[in-house]
Structure 1
C-alpha cells in the first residue's frame, strides 16, 4: 500500500522537492517569456516580480546611493524623517515613474516602470526634493507658483534632465539642454495640477518663478554643468 506521506504518491509537492523547484522555474520562465499559464497568472507573477525588484533596488539605494542618502539626511534635518515604510512600491498607471503624496507624507515608486536602478535613483531624488520643499517651505500644492517652483527644483536637481535621459525621450539639444528640459517638464507637471485650467497658465506660472527657483539648489551646494555630476552633493 502506498505511503500517504510519500510526496511522490500523495499528489502534493514538498518544499525543496523537484516538483517545487520546477514550478518556481516554470513561473519565472513564464514571467520572462510571457509563455505558459493563464493571462491572470502571468500578470500576477509579473506584478510580484516587479514588486520584489522595486523593494530590492529601494533598499540598496537607501543604503548606498550618495544622492539618496544625502537627501534622507537633509529631510531629517528639516523635520521629516523618512523610513523604508514611507517609500511605497506599488503598481501605477503608465504615465509616471513615481509621485509624492503630501497628505500621506509618502513617496510612491511605480514598480515595473523603471528601466534601471539609476532611473529609480533619479525618481527618488526628484520626489525627495518635493518632500523637502513641503517640509521646509510649507508648499501649498494648489498654488500654481508654489507647485511650479518645486517642479523646477526637482527636475533640475534630480538628474531627470541629464543629456542621456533626454536622448532616450527623443529630445536632442546642444545649447541650454538642461534648462529647456527642466522648463518643459515643469510645465507638464503644473498642467496636470487640477487647479491649472490650461497649458498657458502652467507656462506662465513656471516663467514667473523661473529665475529664483532654478537658481535655488538647496539642499545641494550647486548644480554642475556635467550631467554625470548633476545629482551629486559636494558635501555630505
Structure 2
C-alpha cells in the first residue's frame, strides 16, 4: 500500500508552509536580502525516481518529490532543508556542489539547522532506542554526521560512503559554527 502524499496534497502543503512556517519565512527573507528573489514558483512538486524527499537545483529551485513524502511534516522539513541549500548558494553564487567540501558543509548546515536531527525525528527513525537521557548524549552530532555523509555519498566525486564520511568529519566543526541566517 502506498502511504505517500499526492501531488495535489503536497502542492497545498507548500502553500500552507509558506504562509505559516516562521523558519521558511526567515530563510526566504534572508535570500531576498542577499539578492535572490524567491516566491511560490521556486518550489516544484514532481514525481522522482530517487528515494529522496526533495532536492535543490540551481536551475529549478527547491524540488519536492511527492511520491516520497508521507506527511505534511515531511513536506515542511524537506522545504526547510532544501531552502538552507538554496540560501547557501544565494549567499555564495560561486558555490560548487560538486566540490565535496562545499557540498559537505551545506549538508552539515542543513542537517543541523533544519530540524532533521531533532530527538523526535531520530526516535521515529529508530536511532533512539530508549527515552533515557543517556541515550541522547551526542545524538545530534551523530545524526548530523550520518545524514550529511549519506547525502555527500550520492556525489560521485566524493568517494562513496567512506570518502563522504571523511570529508564530513573534516568539515564538521567549521560548518557547525555557521548558523546563518539564524542567530
> Which residue of structure 1 aligns with residue 89 of structure 2?
134
Paired residues for 1:202-221 under 5 Å: 202-221=164-183
Shift of 1:94: 5.1
> Which residue of structure 2 aligns with residue 56 of structure 1?
12
Provide the aligned length of Structure 1 versus Structure 2.
176
Would you say 1:154 and 2:110 are equivalent positions?
yes
Asked if the contact 1:151/1:189 (under 8 Å) is kept, the reply is yes
| C-alpha distance in structure 2 between counterparts of 1:131 and 1:179, whole Å | 23
Asked if the contact 2:44/2:60 (under 8 Å) is kept, the reply is no
| C-alpha distance in structure 1 between counterparts of 2:63 and 2:113, whole Å | 19
> Which residue of structure 2 aligns with residue 119 of structure 1?
74
| C-alpha distance in structure 1 between counterparts of 2:157 and 2:28, whole Å | 30
Asked if the contact 2:154/2:160 (under 8 Å) is kept, the reply is no
Asked if the contact 2:77/2:114 (under 8 Å) is kept, the reply is yes
Instruction: Give unpaired runs (5+ residues) of structure 2.
Output: 129-134
| C-alpha distance in structure 1 between counterparts of 2:156 and 2:60, whole Å | 20
Greater C-alpha radius of gyration? 1
Shift of 1:163: 1.1
Asked if the contact 2:56/2:63 (under 8 Å) is kept, the reply is yes
Shift of 1:99: 0.4
Shift of 1:78: 1.3
Would you say 1:73 and 2:29 are equivalent positions?
yes
Asked if the contact 2:43/2:64 (under 8 Å) is kept, the reply is yes
| C-alpha distance in structure 1 between counterparts of 2:76 and 2:145, whole Å | 21
Query: Aligned-residue CA RMSD in angstroms?
Result: 1.9
Question: The residue matched to 2:105 in structure 1 has which SS?
Answer: helix
> Which residue of structure 2 aligns with residue 106 of structure 1?
61
CA distance 1:131–1:146, change in 2 (3 Å):
same
Would you say 1:176 and 2:138 are equivalent positions?
yes
Shift of 1:68: 0.9
Shift of 1:105: 4.2
Question: The residue matched to 2:68 in structure 1 has which SS?
Answer: coil
Question: The residue matched to 1:112 in structure 2 has which SS?
Answer: helix
Structure 1 stretches of at least 4 aligned residues deviating more than 3 Å after TM superposition? none
